[in-house]
Structure 1
Amino acid sequence: MPQSNTVEVLYQNHHSWLTGWLRRKLGCPQSAADLAQDTFMRLLTARETPTLAEPRAFLTVVAKRVLFNHYRRQDLERAYLQALAEIPEQVVPSEEERAIILQTLMELDQLLDGLPCPVKRAFLLAQIDGLSHADIGARLGISVATVKRHLTKAALRCYFAL
């Protein structure tokens, strides 16, 4: 069965159930509807949809990943808004700049997902804070050689993501 037909059948047979499941998790019908759509969009953009013996179990796994990303996005947005609240009013970015920065932060978070925490921290200290290798090593309590390995690992992740 072609992929689009499989996703179409999944959508027709299980969309209402999935939306209800997400509504119980989130307590918000609008967010549940959005995340149900995101779940099916993820299936549509997947390379291949497997033949499913338990479609609801499969949808639950995919929806949990979408839900996890939703919570991460909310956490990132809260942290960004908190950081904005702490900077002087004269350097606060415009609404358009805020949206661009937030989108960039979300993309960066997704890009670095899966890397060990020390690798992420070293990368962010170098790229955002502009610290030298020696300063990063001192801050994280690691050698300069380890900092270089961490930065290489993060740079390779970014390069291959492109």
Structure 2
Amino acid sequence: MADDVLRRSLTTLYDEHHAWLKNWLQRRLPCDDQAADLAHDTFLRVLAQREPVAPDAPRAFLTTVAQRVLASHFRRQYLEQAWLETLAQQPELVAVSEETRALWMETLYEIDRLLDTLPPITRRAFLLSQLDGVGHAGIAAELGISIATVKRHIVKAGTLLYFAR
């Protein structure tokens, strides 16, 4: 019964607002196909909540969910572009297959998602250490914290990434 209520509420929301949401996204994206994909992703995210949807303001609700989907989309684009630029600067040793490249990108997205769950200071300390090669004393000075705290932040982030599935 709960699944039936969920299905009906989502069907109603989709039928009444999908076209509007797609148009809303088209004004924010350079490609109509991307807008259609992200409208679809928005409804998938609503479906993943597994709760009946009957908001008082359905368009405001969908806009909020769509903005999160859009932010994820732009973040993934930024990561992919940064990765491709980095890859282009490296000497070509071996041609990388599309499958390998896709696996690398998925790994980068997952690392980014995990790092985003950390408090900002922990994430910053870890990135300064791992990407910029700044030592503990330099990180402590930059962030205005003790060296022992820097070590705790780096261990926390490293543990999160090491034990991620």
Q: Distance in 2 between matches of 1:136 and 1:96?
A: 36
Query: Offset at 1:99?
Result: 1.1
Deviations 1:64-85 (A, max 9, x none): 0000000000100010001001
TM-score (norm 2): 0.80
Match for residue 34 of structure 1?
37
Give the letter aligned to residue 79 of structure 2: L
Query: Offset at 1:160?
Result: 8.6
After TM superposition, list the pairs within 5 Å mapping 1:7-156 onto structure 2: 7-90=10-93, 93-124=96-127, 136-142=135-141, 143-155=146-158
Give the letter aligned to residue 63 of structure 1: A
Q: Percent identity of the aligned residues? A: 50
Deviations 1:4-42 (A, max 9, x none): 221111111111110000001113110000000000000
Q: Distance in 2 between matches of 1:64 and 1:144?
A: 38
Q: Distance in 2 between matches of 1:29 and 1:15?
A: 14
Query: Offset at 1:140?
Result: 2.1
Closer/same/farther in 2, CA of residues 83 and 41 from structure 1, 3 Å limit: same
Instruction: Find the residue that maps to 1:25 and give its secondary structure.
Output: coil
Closer/same/farther in 2, CA of residues 110 and 49 from structure 1, 3 Å limit: farther
Closer/same/farther in 2, CA of residues 48 and 78 from structure 1, 3 Å limit: same
Q: Distance in 1 between matches of 2:156 and 2:79?
A: 23
Query: Offset at 1:156?
Result: 6.1
Deviations 1:79-119 (A, max 9, x none): 00010011111156432221111111011111221434442
Maintained 8 Å contact 1:137/1:147: yes
Maintained 8 Å contact 2:136/2:151: no
Q: Distance in 2 between matches of 1:94 and 1:136?
A: 36
Aligned alpha-carbon RMSD (Å): 2.6
Maintained 8 Å contact 2:140/2:147: no
Q: What stretches of structure 2 of length at least 5 have no aligned partner?
A: none
Instruction: Find the residue that maps to 2:56 and give its secondary structure.
Output: coil
Maintained 8 Å contact 1:84/1:92: no
Maintained 8 Å contact 2:38/2:66: yes
Q: Distance in 2 between matches of 1:84 and 1:9?
A: 46
Closer/same/farther in 2, CA of residues 158 and 87 from structure 1, 3 Å limit: closer
TM-score (norm 1): 0.82
- How many residues get paired? 157
